[in-house]
Structure 1
Amino acid sequence: MTDMTTFERIKKVSKERGLTLKQVAEKSGMSTNAIYRYNQGVNPKYDSLRAIANTLGVTVEYLTGETSDTDKKKQVDLADNDVIMTFEGRPIPPEDIELMKRLLRGGEKND
């Protein structure tokens, strides 16, 4: 693995997930331009990295370069509308998520 910066890793995974850096920042509870500061020499705080990692579905260790493994085994609460779920790097449309929920409930609609 090449020596990428934390910013470059965030940018790479964001692109793979079909998200802009601004979207990742907002979904991570940060200001829209927060991530861009990491490219200007600002060191991210651990809590910020954890929020970004959770948004992108990777580990903090991947973002900091401690590992090249982007896989993060994660349990997802399907009721959490703030979680970005992807399949093959593309966001899953809300109507498909609803279908997945129904299938996981055994075909029952949740009214």
Structure 2
Amino acid sequence: MTLVERIKETAKNKKGWNLKTTAEKSGIGTNSIYKWKTQTPQADKLASVAKTLGVSVDYLLGETEKEEPMNDTRDMEVEEALNSMRSYQGQPISDEEREVMRGIIKGYLDNKNKK
């Protein structure tokens, strides 16, 4: 299932909305979600859609079947840190690098909280 298909299904099942209404309620352009069929969404816009639908970004991306949104403030701080990260020569980090960095940051914070 693609990102757009998952958003469409989730919006319909949870809220009774179509993609246009979902985009409007998320505070993004009315055709933004449709464009994600061929374009990679900006992280903040995808996060806004996830929040509006009450699910996690990982769920929308098909990375997990757990719909629960991130309620942990720490998780939001990790996402904000990842959004500001850049790789060599100021280029945005790739999705693969993002996942690696997310794991490193969460592992560090989990270890730190155990002490």
How many residues in Structure 1 have an aligned counterpart in Structure 2? Answer: 71
The residue number in structure 2 matching 1:70 is 67
Once residues 64 and 72 of structure 1 are traced to their aligned partners in structure 2, the CA distance between those partners, rounded to angstroms, is 13
| 1:5 partner letter | T
Q: TM-score, structure 2 length as denominator?
A: 0.57
Shift of 1:63: 0.7
The residue number in structure 2 matching 1:8 is 5
Alignment of 1:93-108 (within 5 A): none
Once residues 73 and 65 of structure 1 are traced to their aligned partners in structure 2, the CA distance between those partners, rounded to angstroms, is 15
Assess if the C-alpha contact under 8 Å between 2:57 and 2:69 holds in 1: no
1:29 corresponds, among 27, 31, 38, to 27
Shift of 1:73: 6.8
Extract unaligned runs of 5+ from structure 2. Answer: 72-115
How much is the aligned-residue C-alpha RMSD, in angstroms?
Answer: 1.7
1:47-90 Cα distance to aligned partner (Å, 9 max, x none): 0110000000000000111101113375xxxxxxxxxxxxxxxx
Once residues 22 and 56 of structure 1 are traced to their aligned partners in structure 2, the CA distance between those partners, rounded to angstroms, is 13
Shift of 1:38: 1.1
Question: Greater helix share, 1 or 2?
Answer: 2
1:11-54 Cα distance to aligned partner (Å, 9 max, x none): 11011120111111011111111111112x11111101100000
Extract unaligned runs of 5+ from structure 1. Answer: 75-111
Percent identical among aligned pairs is 47
The residue number in structure 2 matching 1:102 is none
Between the two structures, name the one with larger relative contact order (CA 8 Å, sep ≥ 6): 1
